[in-house]
Chains A and B, each alone.
Chain A
Amino acid sequence: MRTGAPSYPVAGRVVVSAGPLTFVLRRRAAGMFLLLLALTAVAVVLSLGVGSTFVAPADVVRALAGDGPFTIVVQDLRLPRIVVALAVGTLLGLSGALLQAVSRNPLASPDVIGVSQGAGFAATVVMSTDLGAAWLGPFALLGGLTAATVVFTLSWRYGLAARRFVLCGIAVALATKALTEIFIVGADAIDGQRAQVWLAGSVAGTGYAEARILLIPLVVLLPVLLWAGRAMDTTALDDGVARGLGVRVTQRRLLLGVVGVILAALAISQAGAVDFVALAAAQLARRLVRAERPPLACSALAGALLTVVADLVARTAFAPVQLPVGVLTAVLGGPYLLWLLVRRTP
């Protein structure tokens, strides 16, 4: 940080400069980012230690460094699944932040606007027909993206209208869900049950193959996400105000929304419809940072933290029975949503 940098006129924010480059940083967002990072690290170490064999945190850290007797348990058996949980949570958190910012609606998230339901429908079709399991991921991805395309098209009216977006999403979500249920009822019992488990969302049995599918697009999209983190600043303003400030509102909103949908569809294609993470992570991060719109980086971390913790509880609470992580996030998400509504602070 250079001392000659101009001060930012808003309390709680600083200008960081490096040569000719200047960036505005929210102190609180930076602090919360570090806090969430630390909490996520703690959750990962805990999750790596808990299971049929308990490994103490110190041994987990040693095992991660490739040292000690628990290397296989920690690195080979438990770590891959947790990496997937982290990646799924990160993608869902980012998606929730983007969709909520674009629609200016705290309820917007992939499970409310039809992405999850579209993916779920496609996955159910694959499972109840003779198509192989290899088609599950690609079909689910395609299903999620298709549902989102329908929602974008329906809500397009001289640009992406914020309020129509969520309403159209809810309608598409309900219709797709009904179709899925028709398929499940018609399928034979075992296929139907497999579909139900998939629909609940789970990272059980996943590993680095799935993690790669999630993390490579994340790296590819990183420049877009860096842009998005700042572009979201104008989404809280009225379209007219933003246009007056020289923002190309329609293009910006569309691009942010499309990125949000792609991230969610990817996550869901690998882990099933993990509910509420996207919605809760973005709102949690927004409240922690006290910003007028969800902060992107903190939402990503909040999503990762929520998913890892939910997976830990789902895996151990009723051991040896493992719950799908999506069941737990849904159980936590319902009351959380009610709490948000009741405790609406001015």
Chain B
Amino acid sequence: MTDEHVPPSPTDGGESRAPVRLAARDLSVGYGNRLVIEGLDLELPAGAFTVIIGPNACGKSTLLRTMARLLAPRGGAALIDGVDLHAQPTRELARRLSVLPQSPVTPEGVTVADLVARGRQPYQRWFRQWGAEDSVAVERALALTGLADVRDQSVEALSGGQRQRVWIAMTLAQDTDALLLDEPTTYLDLAHQVEVLDLLRRLNRDGGRTVIAVLHDLNQACRYADHLVVMKDGRVVDQGAPDKVMSAECLAEVFGLGGVVVPCPVTGAPMVVPDAPA
């Protein structure tokens, strides 16, 4: 896997980043006439790698999409550093917070560098379409994600893992303090899942970015998260450090799954082992 190795970069610009406090206050969100989230209160720790988990249809993606202003709340507010983020100009918000929606469709024939360069959109004007700082941000995003060698290739021609790195690179070119990702490892094989999560962890640790992701895999959530948010039926059931939150009771109550939680032999993080097959 040497060709997919991501070199560490000394030019992450992390020293200039400020931790971002995201919060929900009495937040209600829904589709049509159905509320998915009702009166939710939540504070996400600034500067941490937060992972939101929960069974299907628990509202975790809805919450993330609302925190990224892709969905408008029905009631209450989503806050960034204490201010209602839906009331802010979307362009200004795009300079502080970037979001990667679930499985975005790649535009036909677009090259890696082209897609990454689109991350500069919030800084561009019709009469000021490109500046030196835009080039710097794009080069840094390509270097951080190890994509400099494939910059001129078509995104469609890349492997699933590489393609996901291109999308992450686009959000990095946005040069924001916070990064929100909706199931960034879906449809990837295990090696590529680990690769993407390692990258996100590095962006959090070295770059000082506040990272918030929705993940399906409980073991990966426990392995990578500083802070775990467990959701069920549109409510936050529990939150905190993975070793405080993840337990056999949580597994049974939230996921309706019998099993044991043991320390991971590699990292010591909680590891979920479901009961023997029937």
Contact with B along A233-257 (1 / 0, CB 8 A): 1101110110111111000000000
The listed residue (B122, B129, B138, B139) touching A230 by CB distance below 8 A is B129
Tell me if B135 is interfacial: C-beta within 8 Å of chain A. Answer: yes
Q: Distance (Å) between the CB of B138 and the closest chain A CB?
A: 5
Residues of A within 8 A of B (CB): 6-11, 15, 20-24, 226-227, 230, 233-234, 236-238, 240-241, 243-248, 290-293, 346
With A and B bound together, what is the CA distance between A15 and B124 in angstroms? 13
- Tell whether A234 pairs with B128 under 8 Å between CB atoms, given A9-B135, A244-B68, A244-B101: no
CB distance from B88 to the nearest CB of A (A): 10
A245 near B152 (CB under 8 angstroms)? Answer: no
Q: A230 touching B90 by the CB < 8 A rule?
A: no
13 A-B pairs whose Cβ atoms sit less than 8 Å apart in the complex: A9-B117, A11-B152, A22-B128, A22-B130, A226-B126, A237-B104, A240-B99, A240-B101, A241-B100, A244-B101, A245-B119, A245-B122, A246-B91
Task: Report the separation of the CA atoms of residues A22 and B129 in the bound assembly, to the nearest whole angstrom.
Answer: 5
Closest to B92 in A: A246
**Distance (Å) between the CB of B101 and the closest chain A CB?**
4
| Other-chain residue from B107, B117, B121 in contact with A10 (beta carbon distance below 8 A) | B117
User: A6 vs B128: C-alpha distance in the bound complex, in angstroms?
Assistant: 12
Q: Of B118, B130, B142, B170, which contacts A15 at CB under 8 A?
A: B130
In the complex with contacts A21-B128, A238-B101, A10-B93 CB distance below 8 A = no
The answer to whether B98 touches A244 (Cβ under 8 A) is yes
Tell me which residues from 142 to 169 in chain B have a Cβ below 8 Å from any Cβ of chain A: 142, 151-152, 156
**Beyond A245-B119, A246-B121, A292-B108, 9 additional pairs, beta carbon < 8 A:** A9-B116, A9-B139, A22-B129, A241-B100, A243-B70, A243-B90, A244-B98, A244-B100, A246-B95
Is there a chain A Cβ closer than 8 Å to B109's Cβ?
yes
Contacts of B222 in A (CB 8 A): none
Q: Kindly list chain B residues whose C-beta atoms are within 8 Å of the C-beta of A245.
A: 94, 118-119, 121-122, 174
Q: In the bound complex, do residue A240 and residue B65 qualify as a contact, i.e. CB atoms below 8 Å apart?
A: yes
Neighbouring B residues of A293 by C-beta, 8 Å: 107
B130 proximity list for chain A (CB < 8 A): 6, 8, 15, 22-24
Tell me which residues across on chain A come within 8 A of B111, comparing CB atoms. Answer: 10-11
B114 at the A/B interface (Cβ < 8 Å)? yes
* Contact between B129 and A10, CB atoms less than 8 A apart: no
A20 to B130, CA, bound (A): 11
Most buried by B among A9, A11, A24, A237: A9
Work out how many contacts link A and B, with CB atoms closer than 8 A. Answer: 101
Q: Are A20 and B110 CB-contacts (below 8 A) given A243-B90, A246-B122?
A: no
Across the two chains, which residue of chain A brings its CB closest to B157? A346
Top-8 shortest CB links A-B: A246-B94, A240-B101, A246-B91, A236-B107, A244-B99, A246-B122, A245-B121, A292-B107
Which of these, B89, B129, B142, B174, contacts A24 with CB under 8 Å? B129
Q: B132 touches which one: A6, A233, A241 (CB < 8 A)?
A: A6
Are B93 and A246 touching (Cβ within 8 A)?
Answer: yes
Contact B128–A10 (Cβ < 8 Å): no
Q: Of all chain A residues, which has the CB nearest B98?
A: A244
Across the interface, B104 reaches (CB within 8 A) one of A8, A15, A24, A238, namely: A238
Interface residues of B in 55-110 (CB under 8 A from A): 65, 68-70, 89-95, 98-101, 104-105, 107-110
Contact partners of B92 in chain A: CB under 8 A: 246
Contact (Cβ within 8 A) B117 A8: yes
Point out the residues of chain B lying under 8 angstroms from A234, CB to CB: 118, 121
B121:A247 contact, CB within 8 angstroms: yes
Given A6-B134, A8-B117, A244-B101: A230 touches B107 (CB 8 Å cut-off): no
A residues in contact with B113, CB < 8 Å: 9-11
Determine the distance from Cα of A20 to Cα of B128 in the docked complex, in whole angstroms. Answer: 7
Asked whether any CB of chain A lies closer than 8 Å to the CB of B277, the reply is no
Residues of B within 8 A of A227 (CB): 126
CB contacts (< 8 Å) of A11 on chain B: these are 111, 113, 152
Would A241 and B117 count as touching, CB distance under 8 A?
no
CA distance A201 to B98 in the complex (A): 49
Q: Looking across the interface, which residue of chain A has its beta carbon closest to that of B89?
A: A246
